[in-house]
Amino acid sequence: MTRFRHFLAIDWSGAAGERHRGIALALADGDGGPPVLLDPPAGGWSREEVLALLLDLPADTLVGMDLGISLPFADCGAFFPGRADSPPDARSLWALVERICADDPYLAATGFVDHPGLAAYYRRHGGREGANFRCDGAAHGRGRFRVTEHAQAAMGCKPYSNFNLVGAAQVGKSSLTGMRLLHRLRGKLPVWPIDPLPASGSVMVEIYTTLAALDAGRSAAKSKLRSYEELNDALAALGSPAVAGAGTIDDHASDALLTAAWLREVASDPHRWTPDALTPKIARTEGWTFGAL
């Protein structure tokens, strides 16, 4: 039996600008019922509004955010190998992102990827693959992986490196903007596994919506749900009541709705909180994706 009473899933965005139609929030009640999409303000959610919501959560809420809470570390022994000032852990990384991006409005992170000392670690638009994008001559073009991303790949997913900023599948921008938010939550909302799982209260975890889709009987290649019918079939597979609606649905909304129901279904599984490859050092530096086993 899970101790959480509310399950909030957030489909996040690293796009430029103040408001983002790509941000979607859905809430599932621990007592049951269909997940509910939270109505955004006119023009879409801003990242600052999501931050304000996270600072005023209902008690005992499990929050899942679809972003990378850290960067690869274990593969090279550092986030930014070769730099003497490379942060030693995830919290120090968040502080670095915030410091470099302090002048970027709307919790953006343009200043970080354009930083002359850090751009070489990223793949950016225009075919600009930095000299340090791959570690130790990695052959595959998706860049460096965290240990949790290797676990995702073993489950049938197709993760991309958080150092990749190009393409529809990239999560690099959303991860960096998310790190600015995470830095501002310090001391107010624990982030597992960088923070230990508290015995009570709310906590945030990193999510990957494809993992929810896999548990709902979808394949990684068909993880996006673009109709209410597909969404409700997936919800039924997770033991959740259907949401009202018919026809097409925005996939940001369906991702959030499905993942809120998934969090409610799997949060009581102790193995989700104790994956085999999650060591104390990995927890402190790279973090983990909840549900990657």
User: Is the pLDDT reported for residue 127 higher than 60?
Assistant: yes
pTM of the model: 0.96
> Would you say residue 183 has pLDDT above 60?
yes
The C-alpha angle with vertex 199 and arms to 198 and 205, in degrees rounded to 5, equals: 40
**What letter would DSSP give residue 107?**
G
Alpha carbons within 13 A on the beta-carbon side of 172: 25
Give the pair of three-digit tokens for residue 223.
């993880």
48-96 confidence digits (pLDDT tens) = 999 999 999 999 999 999 999 999 999 999 999 999 999 999 999 999 9
Q: What residue ranges do the domains of the chain occupy? A: 6-69+183-273, 90-180
- Report the chain's terminal Cα–Cα distance, integer Å: 20
Instruction: pLDDT band for 236, please (50, 70, 90 cuts).
Output: very high
pLDDT at 140 > cutoff 80? no
Averaged over 218-234, what is the pLDDT? 95
Cα dihedral across residues 129, 10, 291, 250: positive or negative: negative
State whether residue 269 is helix, strand or coil: coil
Distance in angstroms (rounded) separating the CA atoms of residues 219 and 7:
24
Place of tokens 């796009």: 15
For residue 273, report the phi and psi dihedrals to the nearest 5 degrees.
-95, -5
pLDDT tens, position by position, 9-54: 999 999 999 999 999 999 999 999 999 999 999 999 999 999 999 9
